[in-house]
Amino acid sequence: MKKGSPVMKATPTHRLTVMSPSADATTSLGMTVGRRLAIGHFVALRGPLGAGKTCFAQGLLAGLGVRGGGRSPTFILMYEYEGRVPVYHLDAYRLKGPEELLEVGFEELLSAPAVVILEWSDRVTALLPPDRLEVELEPVVGQADGRRISLTAAGCQHQVLIAALDLGR
Amino acid sequence: MLADLLASQAAMHGRFGGVVPEMASRRHLELVLPLIDEVLARAGIPLSDMSAIAFTAGPGLVGSLLVGATTARALAFAHGLPVLGVNHLEAHLYAHFLPGAQTRGFRLPAVCLIVSGGHTDLVLWEDHGRLKVMGRTRDDAAGEAFDKTARLLGLGYPGGPEVERLARQGDPAAIPFPRAYLDDGDDFSFSGLKTAVATFLRHSGPSFRLADVAASFQQACVEVLAAKLVRAACREGVKGIGICGGVAANTVLRREVADRARMAGLAAWFPEPALCTDNAAVVACAAWHALDRSVAWYNPTVDPNLPLGRVGDHGDSDPGKRGDKHENLS
């Protein structure tokens, strides 16, 4: 296998684990997922600092047809984009609790005709919609650039999404 | 400047209760009128004696922007005053026109760097109302990199001053963290630097000093910021450079910018640190200069993605004519 292409491993239908060897591979995996995202999809990203959430989110945005996107919403809290579909890119890193996410109008976003991407979703677990794609990124021990990326679908809309990705292997 | 107040200032906490999360528009609503009363009382001037009322029109969170815009419009209507929407980033730049030990003699054109937790923008500031974004961050802002590095090092919040304090005891050349020059363009990238710090901390075991990590990170960050700022100024043929935004309070960045400016034969200006972070004085200053140009009225609406140059783009107050003349700064 040539360097840079991710190795995929699928377990049942709702979970996919990918070993990404580099930041570029993480971005292109994000792009693969992003191309299949449609209105109503919700992507929850989590993982420690430097795990590759920015790379993955930049890939998602590129796959959604957003040009020049991917600046971190950590301090801004939310970026709004027009890609193939409207996209909201949020970040819960600086929030002290779920109520602060409600203050930026999170509930309205969930029913908006748009794709929502939320980084640091583990800080606001109580507010996540039941139907969602969970993406967990973690560094691989002993590798500087290697990342284990787990995609988990909760709810049928996102299980279909994962199944479609799996077919693309 | 007669009075400038910030709702999050420590002195205000007792009166209004607790820390103010800037994202909470409901808190803005509760605080805005008492804050206006307080600032007028300190200045000793009634609202009706003002020349105009200014508000931040964007970029920012729409809920908070609307509180400011609606308040400004209502007060302006009640007192028969002109009302002006000001671009948040343009306002930051006006810190250069406020009194300070190192802003005396500031004049345009200049190349300025707005560097904060949310923004890293390199701006060619030709004249009042004429600004061009030359480059900006593609991922994390520089202030965000400081904040997240502080978190990685187990330091407190806000991270910038904490990293700077720890870095004073460290060797800035201890660890060769990457400098993202991005093919010598005017854009920035700090996400990779933050990741490099995380990777270093994960793999290096206990055989290093945290102060060296802080100092080396800070050096990598300020070198890129200062080098790109000075290079852009030389290329554009302007005589002076400036920095504003929260990170502009960093003394190592100031020294690096001053040193490189001197070598390049440029004048360097540094607004007072208190005027570098978010504040209303710079909004008023930007509005004052707009009034000076007989621009007494702008379409008083907000735009969460307001591009730099639009609100200050004079003779065009038609909200339908939102063009692409300037790159979107959001």
Indicate if B243 and B120 belong to the same structural domain.
yes
Residue-range definition of the domain harbouring residue B282: 10-92+277-321
pTM here is 0.86
**B261 falls within a domain:** yes
Report how far residue B64's alpha carbon sits from residue B310's, in angstroms, rounded to the nearest whole number: 20
Rounded average pLDDT over A36-50: 96
% of chain B residues with pLDDT over 70: 84
Average pLDDT over all residues of chain B: 85
Mutate to test the interface with B, among A49, A87, A99 (most CBs of B within 10 A): A49
Residue B129 and residue B199 in one domain: yes
> Which positions 239-278 of B are in contact with A (Cβ < 8 Å)?
none
pLDDT of residue B315: 37
- What is residue B10's predicted lDDT score, i.e. its pLDDT? 38
Distance from CA of A13 to the nearest CA of B (A): 32
Residue B1 lies in a domain: no
Distance from CA of A116 to the nearest CA of B (A): 16
**Which chain A residues are closer than 8 Å to B202 by Cβ?**
139
User: Chain A contacts of B117, Cβ < 8 Å?
Assistant: 74-75
Q: Mark yes or no for CB contact A71/B25 under 8 Å.
A: no
Q: Is residue B136 part of a domain?
A: yes
What's the CATH number where B163 sits? Answer: 3.30.420.40
Note the pLDDT of residue B107: 94
Q: B138 and A71 in contact by Cβ < 8 A? A: yes
**Same domain membership, residue B237 and residue B127:** yes
CA A21 – CA A27 distance, rounded (Å): 11
Interface test with B, best of A54, A79, A93 (most B CBs within 10 A): A54
What ipTM was predicted for this assembly?
0.85
pLDDT of residue A166: 63
d(CA A116, CA B59): 20
Residues B306, B160, single domain; the answer is no
Tally of domains within chain B: 2
Residue B111 belongs to a domain: yes
Contact state of A49 with B151 under an 8 Å Cβ cutoff: yes
Within-domain flag for B227: yes
Same domain, B261 and B148: yes
Q: Which of A23, A79, A139 lies nearest to residue B202, judging by beta carbons?
A: A139
Residue B330 lies in a domain: no
Residues B182 and B261 in one domain: yes
Which of B27, B88, B144 has the highest number of chain A CBs within 10 A, making it the mutation to test binding with A?
B144
Whether residue B327 lies inside any domain: the answer is no
Min distance B203 CA to chain A CA atoms (Å): 8
Q: Are residues B211 and B148 in the same domain?
A: yes
Partner-chain residue, chosen from B24, B117, B137, that has the shortest CB–CB distance to A71: B137
CATH topology of domain A8-144+156-167: Rossmann fold (3.40.50)
Judge whether B147 lies within some domain. Answer: yes
B25 neighbourhood in chain A, CB within 8 Å: 103
On the CB side of B314, CA atoms within 13 Å amount to 16
Inter-residue contact A82 to A108 (CB < 8 Å): no
Size of interface A-B (CB pairs under 8 A): 81
What tens digit of pLDDT does each residue of B286-323 get? 998 888 665 545 556 788 888 886 544 433 333 333 33
Does one domain contain both B34 and B118?
A: no
Q: Give the largest Cα separation in chain B, rounded.
A: 67
Domain check: are B110 and B221 in the same one? yes
pLDDT in tens, B165-215: 999 999 999 999 999 988 789 999 999 999 999 999 988 877 889 999 999
Cα–Cα nearest to B139, from A32, A148, A70:
A70
If asked whether residues B259 and B281 sit together in one domain, one would say: no
Give the ranges where chain B is alpha helix by DSSP (H): 10-16, 25-43, 62-79, 88-93, 142-152, 159-167, 191-203, 210-236, 251-264, 273-276, 280-292
| pLDDT at position B26 over 90 | no
pLDDT of residue B22: 52
Q: Can you give the residue ranges of every domain in chain A? A: 8-144+156-167
